[in-house]
Amino acid sequence: MTLAAPPERPSEPAGLAVVLGGTGGIGAALAQGLGDRGHAVLLLGRRTQPALDYADEASVARCALQLAERLAHTGESLGHLIVATGFLHGETTSGQRAEPERSWQHLNADSLRHSFLVNAIGPALVMRHFLPLLPKQGPCVAAFLSARVGSIGDNALGGWYGYRASKAALNQLVHTAAVELARRNKEALCVALHPGTVDTALSQPFAKTGLQVRPPAQAAAELLAVLDALPPGSSGRFFDHKGLPVPW
Ligand SMILES: NC(=O)c1ccc[n+]([C@@H]2O[C@H](COP(=O)([O-])OP(=O)(O)OC[C@H]3O[C@@H](n4cnc5c(N)ncnc54)[C@H](OP(=O)(O)O)[C@@H]3O)[C@@H](O)[C@H]2O)c1
């Protein structure tokens, strides 16, 4: 019996895959998908050891330091850095409850602070501490999960001020980091990704009938396929789970 050759993925970086927010719905599925492809995978999150919590800036530096020590010790290279953290609703660091705002009347500083902490400031700290660990040559990927609602050009409905604004800030951070990363490694890819609507704790209260809600495993497979297929020149851009560019 002859077996068909596996599809070629010339652009897929080799080496260790690190998934931040790997304890979340999409993050866990991405970690599983990368593991199924034969990558060694390191999960980092608030409940991992070491823990990574954006509310504790030092924890981000500590996790990066331990990763740097592992890379130096094992000789592995960091092929994928996936940032799958995010916040839409729930408890803020000050213990208050935050919900997406339906109107400007619902805007409050505590919710806004927390949305910016988790969706923009945390990933920015990840850029500072983790991007220098990507190899200086050869293909490697830094992918940050954003959301289409963070697109200013695509915003026809309004509402969700804090989530939209913090994801728009993340998109700018991703684009800016991609410019700097390209100076170190022309083959490095740094992108923002919209995963579509996915059945996780984050989307669960808002999943309306009629909206195409997909299981995390499907979303993860689609996102990894998008990363495989992105052509040169894609770094610094924003793509959805079908590989289509999303307007800023
Ligand atoms: N689900 C969707 O339909 C959808 C749609 C568009 C975009 N997205 C984006 O996709 C990404 C993943 O979302 P998801 O649906 O998988 O959500 P999720 O299941 O709620 O996962 C969110 C992740 O963020 C982590 N996180 C939250 N606060 C943190 C903090 N202070 N420090 C460090 N990590 C923190 C969580 O850690 P713990 O496990 O410790 O709580 C969890 O791993 C997010 O960026 C989200 O905005 C999702």
Residue nearest to atom 1 of ligand 1 (CA): 198
Q: What is the pLDDT of residue 80?
A: 98
In the three-class reduction of DSSP (H, G, I as helix; E, B as strand; rest coil), residue 107 is classed as coil
* Atom of ligand 1 minimally distant from the CA of 144: 45
Q: Confirm if 179 and 236 have CB atoms less than 8 A apart.
A: yes
Locate the DSSP E strands across the chain.
16-20, 41-44, 78-83, 90-91, 97-98, 140-145, 188-194, 238-240
137 C-alpha to ligand 1 centroid (Å): 30
Q: Cα–Cα distance between 40 and 31 in angstroms, integer?
A: 9
Task: Report CA(171)–ligand 1 centroid distance (Å).
Answer: 16
Q: What is the set of domains in the chain, with CATH numbers?
A: 16-240 (3.40.50.720)
Which residue type, as a one-letter code, is found at position 110?
A: D
Taking the alpha carbons at both ends of the chain, their separation in whole angstroms is 50
pLDDT confidence of residue 9? 41
Long-range contacts of 33-40 (CB under 8 A, 24+ apart): 33/217, 33/220, 33/221, 33/224, 34/80, 34/82, 34/224, 37/12, 37/224, 39/15, 39/79, 39/80, 40/15, 40/16, 40/76
State percent of the chain over pLDDT 90.
92
Question: Given this model, what pLDDT does residue 7 score?
Answer: 39
Rounded Cα distance between 113 and 50, Å, is 25
Cα(46) to ligand 1 centroid in Å equals 11
Name which of 179, 232, 188, 186 is nearest 80 in CA terms.
188
Span from the CA of 201 to the centroid of ligand 1 (angstroms) = 8
> In a structure prediction context, what are the per-residue pLDDT tens digits for the chain, which is 248 residues long?
334 433 344 468 889 999 999 999 999 999 999 999 999 999 999 999 999 999 999 999 999 999 999 999 999 999 999 999 999 999 999 999 999 999 999 999 999 999 999 999 999 999 999 999 999 999 999 999 999 999 999 999 999 999 999 999 999 999 999 999 999 999 999 999 999 999 999 999 987 767 789 999 999 999 999 999 999 999 999 999 999 999 99
Atom of ligand 1 nearest to the CA of 167: 47
Q: What is residue 5's predicted lDDT score, i.e. its pLDDT?
A: 38
Q: Residue 147: what pLDDT?
A: 98
**Amino acid (one-letter) located at 224:** L
pLDDT of residue 207: 79
CB distance 48 to 27 below 8 Å? no
Choosing from 23, 85, 191, 199 the residue with most ligand 1 atoms within 8 A of its CB, the one to mutate for a pocket test is 85
Q: What is the pLDDT of residues 39-57, one digit of tens each?
A: 999 999 999 999 999 999 9
Q: Say how far residue 4 (Cα) sits from the centre of its chain.
A: 33
Which atom of ligand 1 lies at the shortest distance from residue 27's CA? 16
- Could you identify the atom of ligand 1 that is nearest to the CA of residue 53? 32
Closest-CA residue, ligand 1 atom 18, reads: 24
Alpha carbons 132 and 107: distance in angstroms, whole number: 36
Residue 24 CA, ligand 1 centroid: distance in Å: 5
